Amino acid sequence: MAMGKEKLLTATEYGICLFSSEILQDFLRQKKIRSKKLLKLFQKDKELYLETQECGVWIPMVQVNSYEYVIRVDGIDEPFGDEWEQKIEYSGFNIEIKNGIWISGIGSMMTWKPEEYLGEEGSYSIHTPFGDMPHYYSREERYYQTLSGTTLYTDFHYDIPDGKYLLSVKGFRRKDFAQRTKMEQGAGACGFLFSFAEVEEFSGFENPREEAYDFNVGSME
């Protein structure tokens, strides 16, 4: 596969998540869930949340620093090179994919907007007392511009074939991380590599919210 451009994902809400929008929508319809506040719902209803993990509806990676993270997928993007140090590796998370996978800031689950994940292009502005903040969405990505004009990416789409997969996550940090300023540390000095291993059926599940899983590579020794 051709190597894509570098992807920097903004995690302003201190988390990253993966999901297939069609699988998520199917689950919401099956459960007759109309709420758009999905993150709050899954935090409040533990049984419902665990069912999403068992069925491979989505994968949350929570309690990470509010950074821009380099996002790469094994076999599509370039691997992390010698200037990076691997800090974590976890595997066995269930994820079902239909029409590709989204890797997103977890803020996308705070107010779910399914119409922005249908593959169409669109834009709108959020009005603030200090000016407008343009938002854009397409089949490949979602992003917005801050009041200062900085572009921040909140979602990236990858064309992974339909099926059931076990997700593996490797977390990296640049070797010169400690020598960087706080601002530099938050601007692409940490990253994640995601790998997908296809399976016929899920057998049990791992819960990424358990204490055994620490995704906050920016705060590790």
CATH code where residue 40 lies: 2.60.34.30
Report, as an integer, the average pLDDT of 30-35. Answer: 96
Total of domains in the chain? 1
pTM: 0.94
Strand bridging mode 68-73 / 187-199:
parallel
Average pLDDT of the chain is: 95
Contact, 156 vs 71, CB < 8 A? yes
Write down the pLDDT at residue 12: 87
pLDDT at 1 over 80: no
Q: How far apart are CA 127 and CA 108, in angstroms?
A: 19
Average pLDDT (121-145) is 94
Domain contains 218: no
Host domain of residue 154: 7-114+145-202
Exposure of 97 by Cβ count < 10 A (0-12 exposed, 13-18 middle, 19+ buried)?
A: buried
The reply to whether 173 falls in a domain is yes
Q: What's the mean pLDDT in 93-117? A: 96
96 in Cβ contact with 164 (< 8 Å): yes
Is 86 among the domain residues? yes
202, HSE (Cβ side, Cα atoms, 13 Å): 21
Does a structural domain hold residue 169? yes
Does 1 fall in a domain?
no
pLDDT-based confidence at residue 145 (cuts at 50, 70, 90): very high
How far is CA 47 from its chain centroid?
22
Residue 132 lies in a domain: no
Give the confidence band of 2 by pLDDT, cuts at 50, 70, 90.
Answer: very low
Residue 119 counted as domain residue: no
Q: What is the pLDDT of residues 149-199, one digit of tens each?
A: 999 999 999 999 999 999 999 999 999 999 999 999 999 999 999 999 999
For residue 221, the model assigns a pLDDT of 85
Chain-centroid distance of CA 50 in Å reads: 18
Q: Is residue 60 assigned to a domain?
A: yes
